[in-house]
Amino acid sequence: MYQFWVYHAGTIGEPRSVELPSIRELAGRVGEEVAVSPWLEVSQQRIDTFAKAIEDFQWIHVDPARAKRSPFGGTIAHGFLTLSLLSHLSETTFSFTDRKMGVNYGLNRVRFTSPVPSGSRVRARFTLLKYEPIEGDGVQVTWNAIVEIEGAAKPALVAEWIGRHYY
């Protein structure tokens, strides 16, 4: 079974779970917004942990006192932290019971359109742009992924994200 969260136009609130028998059923969903992830908090602890992992300690990310005086009014997440959350947001949204393995294949476009303040919540919207069978019992999917910030007018990130899944 294939399970994902789906957004219904005109409704407000948390997404709901829907099941499909197989990832292969996505073939008929090209051009549709297929899923919306649950909300995820981007805490200062998450930002600090990411800063340590990539050794990027710019004050706008890790110094709350100094960042209060910035145009953002506080610390913000690294753009690459927001981008890397796509994997987690996807995993909490999609469940492929017929999938043996899935891998990131790359990105065609990425734009960091708005900063993510520490303590805010984000979620991702996934619109299927392409579905292509590949060798070795697999499919390559290209998603338009939009990371929204709860209560913000602009998204934090817009990306064309490519994944490969094998069944």
Give the contacts of 15 (CB within 8 A, at least 6 positions apart): 5, 6, 7, 35, 36, 37, 38, 93, 123
Q: How much is the pLDDT for 5?
A: 41
Q: Which CATH number covers residue 136?
A: 3.10.129.10
Q: How much is the pLDDT for 62?
A: 98
The ranges of the chain with pLDDT < 50 are 1-12, 16-18
Report CA-CA distances (Å) from 51 to 34, 43, 64.
32, 12, 14
Total domains, the chain: 1
Handedness of CA 10, 160, 30, 98 (dihedral sign): negative
pLDDT in tens, 122-153: 999 999 999 999 999 999 999 999 999 999 99
SS3 52: helix
Q: How much is the pLDDT for 113?
A: 98
Give how far the C-alpha of residue 149 lies from the chain's centroid of Cα atoms, to the nearest Å. 11
Other beta carbons within 10 angstroms of residue 14's beta carbon come to 11
- Structural domain span for residue 37: 2-166
Amino acid at 61: H
CA distance 33 to 50: 30
Residue 146 parent element (H or E): strand 138-149
CA distance 59 to 38: 29
CA distance 152 to 27: 32
Read off the pTM: 0.87
CA distance 13 to 139: 31
Q: How much is the pLDDT for 4?
A: 41
Q: How much is the pLDDT for 164?
A: 95
